[in-house]
Amino acid sequence: SYELTQPPSVSVSPGQTCSITCSGDKLGERYAAWYQQKPGQSPVVVIYQGHKRPSGIPERFSGSNSGNTATLTISGTQAMDEADYYCQAWDSSNVVFGGGTKLTVL
């Protein structure tokens, strides 16, 4: 079965740029999405189709997807960005999520 691999945790200082990766076989040939989830809340999509940003999502969130890796980049990270982040893609007719990355802003 298809798997997506994320680092369990990433740390960043406020105002700095952070990147969260998601690895999967030929992931660049699929549409990847990224979700932000804060404690006790439902996930929110921050990037879809690899690089598109939904309305209402700050411009500091960007995405890329090439080869075997999709990357979520947060520029000028703010304290409010501290959350869990999940990547997601399709494998045939099934949906696959990465294991999630806890972003700590300190």
Partner 1 sequence: QVQLLQSGAEVKKPGASVKVSCKASGYTFTSYHMHWVRQAPGQGLEWMGIINPNDGGTGYAQKFKGRVTMTRDTSTSTGYMELRSLRSEDTAVYYCARVEWQSFHIWGQGTLVTVSS
Interacting residue ranges for partner 1, rule: CB under 8 A: 1, 31, 33, 35, 37, 42-45, 48-49, 52, 54, 86, 88, 90, 93-100
Closest contact distance (angstroms) between CB of 21 and partner 1 is 16
Closest contact distance (angstroms) between CB of 41 and partner 1 is 9
Burial class (CB in 10 A: 0-12, 13-18, 19+), 65: buried
Minimum CB distance to partner 1 smaller for 17 or for 104: 104
How far is C-alpha 89 from the chain's CA centre? 11
- Which amino acid is residue 59, in one-letter code? E
